[in-house]
């Protein structure tokens, strides 16, 4: 396994390009799963209040013996916590639950545009960053119009937009809009629940490189410039997901994978998700 590269965010902070996602892990398993990931070499742990396992994130970090400054911690503000008062309470609750004095990154989990509170939520994150409770602030599942609105109304540019990206949902236009604005695109569900594993381009690249379909897809993300947060409770799979820095996909292989885009979402549409 080679060292995971870091990307520089537009506020000067640095973040591992490849991290570990905590969605769907139960409270009973989360501490063990994250400890295993940290032992494998992950140094970015991506959580959220909605996942229900923030306390276990903190338990794993303390049990690992790794210095706090060496682990990049992300959490998110859920849809029901939008608005000035609730957003502040959400961040303070996450700090307490995880047991840290400062979070590396806090994201607005979804824009929930029908509630029309995401600008106010963004303004609150800006204030919390100025107070030193958060180092960097960003968004998740924001479309281009949502991004333009928060930037135009506050002057503050997110450091990342965490969105669903995989070979079957490549989101090229949104990725380009983010890149043009100078912030990182971070992919969730980077494998697309395995939808493309048996496709000809992925199989051919895996056969040539001796890698698994999952490793080929993660390498595709890296070469596109995406950051990403795969997740697995299996220690061997965790290690395999890090073992993607000893090979490269060719231009032809990248072009072939580009043809797999079919606009297929495994998660909800940001335009309609998040109504109370």
Return the active site residues: 51
Question: Which residues neighbour 128 within 8 Å (Cβ) at sequence distance 6 or greater?
Answer: 87, 88, 91, 106, 134, 137
Three-state secondary-structure class, residue 244: coil
SS3 letters for 28-56? HHHHHHHHHHHHHCCCEEECCHHHCCHHH
Per the listing, tokens 């697995």 go with: 232
Do 201 and 256 contact (CB within 8 A), yes or no? yes
**Contact in structure between 261 and 167 (CB atoms under 8 Å):** yes
Q: Specify whether the CB–CB gap between 162 and 107 falls below 8 A.
A: yes
Q: How far is C-alpha 181 from the chain's CA centre?
A: 18
Q: Give the other-Cβ count within 10 Å of 211's Cβ.
A: 20
Q: What distance in Å separates the CA atoms of residue 51 and residue 160, rounded to the nearest whole number?
A: 20
Residue 60's closest CA among 40, 32, 41? 32
């Amino acid at each position: 396994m080679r060292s995971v590269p870091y990307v520089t965010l537009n506020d000067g902070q640095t973040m591992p390009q490849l991290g570990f996602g905590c969605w769907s892990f139960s409270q009973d398993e989360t501490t063990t799963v994250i400890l295993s990931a940290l032992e494998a070499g992950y140094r970015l742990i991506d959580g959220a209040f909605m996942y229900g396992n923030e306390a276990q994130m903190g338990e794993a970090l303390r049990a690992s013996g790794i210095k706090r400054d060496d682990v990049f911690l992300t959490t998110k503000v859920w849809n029901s916590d939008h608005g000035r008062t609730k957003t502040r309470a959400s961040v303070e609750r996450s700090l307490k639950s995880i047991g840290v004095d400062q979070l590396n990154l806090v994201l607005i989990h979804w824009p929930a545009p029908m509630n029309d509170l995401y600008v106010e939520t963004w303004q609150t994150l800006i204030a919390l960053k100025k107070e030193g409770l958060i180092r960097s602030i960003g968004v998740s599942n924001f479309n281009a119009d949502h991004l333009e609105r928060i930037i135009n109304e506050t002057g503050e540019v997110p450091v990342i937009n965490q969105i669903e990206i995989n070979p079957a949902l490549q989101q090229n236009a949104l990725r380009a809009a983010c890149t043009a604005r100078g912030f990182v695109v971070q992919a969730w569900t980077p494998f697309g629940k395995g939808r493309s594993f048996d496709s000809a381009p992925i199989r051919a690249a895996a056969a040539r490189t001796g890698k698994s379909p999952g490793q080929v897809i993660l390498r595709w993300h890296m070469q596109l410039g995406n950051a990403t947060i795969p997740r697995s409770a299996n220690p061997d799979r965790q290690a395999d997901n890090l073992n993607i820095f000893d090979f490269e996909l060719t231009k032809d292989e990248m072009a072939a994978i580009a043809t797999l885009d079919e606009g297929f979402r495994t998660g909800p549409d940001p335009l309609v998700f998040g109504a109370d």
